[in-house]
């Protein structure tokens, strides 16, 4: 296409216009409900690029394009990586994966949260930490061997904390010496609650910058116009066999006065436990971050 422009001297100039096609980018939908763009350059993770897909589509919009993708394979078959994890980066201590609101995973976490909470959810992020997941799986295997059973009770429990503790927990797991105590009523350990409402009492509102996570590129910036929000963890916890706690406990007590047969955790009430105290961080996997207003 040409454009003709007249000059003041009634001369004409022929000027070529830019009619090049825009650079289209192709995305794929991950299992967590988040869209990711195909890589610019081919890699071991995916043999096809966004540009190659566009070329194929331009030639035949109903065509079929074959390519391969890589999968993360754990070399120890006893420690499988959860099948819904995605884009695992072994160079980082952990990753935060934003969950789409229409995914089953988001809805299931929201269901547990909303059993006792009516505060709107801002976001839910999955925590992918290969090291902590390996420790958790190994602890589960150990408990099965020691107790000679495959049935180790596991629960999804909440833990409220301040924003300053988030990075440390995501990286190193829960540590009651760093995250504070709940008065040590049931023992000196990390406290978890069945109900999100109880854990929310220990959450701290932020209306400023979440500088700790931002500094490491793990959280988006918080703008002044954004409403204050709080954060709590939803953790996968091996509660195992439990008994009522005591302020003096530094670990669960023995079941028969021996030095090998111990309970696995402590609770507030045997008939209807609402609070669980865990003394071994390997029994915990911090699985989700729930941000709420």
**Does any domain span residue 82?**
no
Give me the pLDDT at residue 173, please: 98
Instruction: Clarify whether residues 29 and 152 are in a common domain.
Output: no
Q: What is the pLDDT of residues 205-239, one digit of tens each?
A: 875 435 445 444 455 555 556 789 999 999 999 99
Percent of the chain scoring above 70 in pLDDT = 76
Average pLDDT over residues 76-105: 87
Instruction: Clarify whether residues 170 and 48 are in a common domain.
Output: no
Residue 53 to residues 43, 68, 71, 99, 226, Cα–Cα distance (Å): 15, 13, 21, 26, 38
**Does any domain span residue 87?**
no
Instruction: Clarify whether residues 176 and 264 are in a common domain.
Output: yes
Instruction: Clarify whether residues 130 and 275 are in a common domain.
Output: yes
Domain CATH for 246 = 3.90.228.10
Residue 14, domain extent: 2-59
Average pLDDT over residues 188-202: 97
Q: What is the pLDDT of residues 132-191, one digit of tens each?
A: 999 999 999 999 999 999 999 999 999 999 899 999 999 999 998 865 555 689 999 999
Instruction: Clarify whether residues 100 and 199 are in a common domain.
Output: yes
Instruction: Clarify whether residues 46 and 150 are in a common domain.
Output: no
What is the band of 4 on the pLDDT scale with cuts at 50, 70, 90? very low
User: Is pLDDT above 70 for 270?
Assistant: yes
Q: Using an 8 Å Cβ cutoff, are 236 and 270 in contact?
A: no
Average pLDDT over residues 78-94: 86
C-alpha–C-alpha distance, residues 276 and 271, integer Å: 13
Give me the pLDDT at residue 184, please: 86
Instruction: Clarify whether residues 29 and 117 are in a common domain.
Output: no
Give me the pLDDT at residue 239, please: 99
Q: Using an 8 Å Cβ cutoff, are 35 and 98 in contact?
A: no
Instruction: Clarify whether residues 115 and 256 are in a common domain.
Output: yes
Instruction: Spell out the residues 6+ positions from residue 166 whose beta carbon is closer than 8 angstroms to its own.
Output: 212, 213, 231, 289
Of 32, 59, 86, the residue at which a domain comes to its end is 59
**Does any domain span residue 114?**
yes
Instruction: Spell out the residues 6+ positions from residue 182 whose beta carbon is closer than 8 angstroms to its own.
Output: 191, 202, 275
C-alpha–C-alpha distance, residues 172 and 135, integer Å: 11
Of 33, 59, 85, the residue at which a domain comes to its end is 59
How many folded domains does the chain comprise? 2
**Does any domain span residue 201?**
yes
**Does any domain span residue 252?**
yes
Of 12, 40, 59, the residue at which a domain comes to its end is 59
Q: Using an 8 Å Cβ cutoff, are 286 and 170 in contact?
A: yes
Instruction: Clarify whether residues 100 and 43 are in a common domain.
Output: no
Instruction: Clarify whether residues 27 and 124 are in a common domain.
Output: no
User: Is pLDDT above 70 for 254?
Assistant: yes
Instruction: Clarify whether residues 27 and 161 are in a common domain.
Output: no
**Does any domain span residue 89?**
no
Closest CA to 168 of 180, 157, 179: 179
Q: Three-class SS string for the chain?
A: CEEEEECCCCCEEEEECCCCCCCCCCEEECCCCCEEECCCCCCCCECCCHHHHHHHHHHCCCCCCCCCECCCCCCCCCCCCCCCCCCCCCCCCCEEEECCCCCHHHHHHHHHHHCCCCCCEEEEEEEECHHHHHHHHHHHHHHHHHHCCCCCCEEEEEEECCHHHHHHHHHHCCCHHHHCCCCCCCCCCEEEECCHHHHHCCCCCECCCCHHHHHCCCCCCCCCCCCCEEEEEEEEEECCCEEECCCCCCCCCECCCCCCCECCEEECCCCCCCEEEECCHHHEEEEEEEEEC
**Does any domain span residue 266?**
yes
**Does any domain span residue 184?**
yes
Angle subtended at Cα 246 by Cα 243 and Cα 249, rounded to the nearest 5 degrees: 95
Instruction: Clarify whether residues 183 and 110 are in a common domain.
Output: yes
């Amino acid at each position: 296409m040409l454009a003709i422009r007249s000059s003041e001297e009634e001369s004409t100039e022929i000027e070529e216009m830019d009619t090049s096609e825009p650079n289209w980018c192709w995305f794929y939908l991950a299992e967590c409900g988040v869209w990711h763009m195909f890589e610019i350059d081919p890699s071991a993770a995916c043999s096809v690029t966004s540009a190659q897909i566009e070329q194929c589509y331009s030639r035949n919009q109903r065509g079929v394009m074959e390519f391969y993708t890589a999968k993360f394979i754990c070399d120890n078959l006893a420690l499988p990586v959860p099948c819904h994890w995605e884009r695992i980066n072994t160079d980082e201590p952990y990753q935060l994966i934003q969950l789409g609101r229409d995914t089953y995973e988001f809805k299931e976490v929201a269901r547990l949260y909303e059993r006792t909470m009516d505060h709107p959810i801002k976001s839910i992020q999955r925590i992918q930490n290969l090291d902590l997941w390996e420790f958790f799986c190994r602890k589960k295997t150990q408990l099965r061997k020691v107790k000679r059973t495959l049935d180790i009770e596991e629960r999804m429990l909440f833990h409220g904390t301040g924003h300053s503790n988030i990075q440390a927990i995501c990286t190193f797991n829960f540590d009651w010496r760093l995250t504070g105590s709940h008065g040590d009523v049931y023992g000196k350990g990390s406290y978890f609650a069945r109900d999100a409402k109880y854990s929310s009492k220990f959450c701290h509102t932020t209306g400023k910058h979440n500088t700790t996570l931002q500094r490491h590129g793990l959280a988006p910036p918080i703008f002044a116009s954004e409403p204050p929000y709080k954060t709590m963890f939803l953790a996968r916890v091996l509660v195992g066999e439990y008994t009522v706690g005591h302020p003096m406990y530094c670990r669960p007590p023995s079941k028969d006065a021996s030095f090998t047969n111990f309970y696995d955790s402590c609770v507030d009430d045997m008939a209807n436990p609402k609070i669980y105290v865990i003394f071994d961080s390997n029994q915990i996997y911090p699985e989700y971050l729930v941000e709420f207003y």
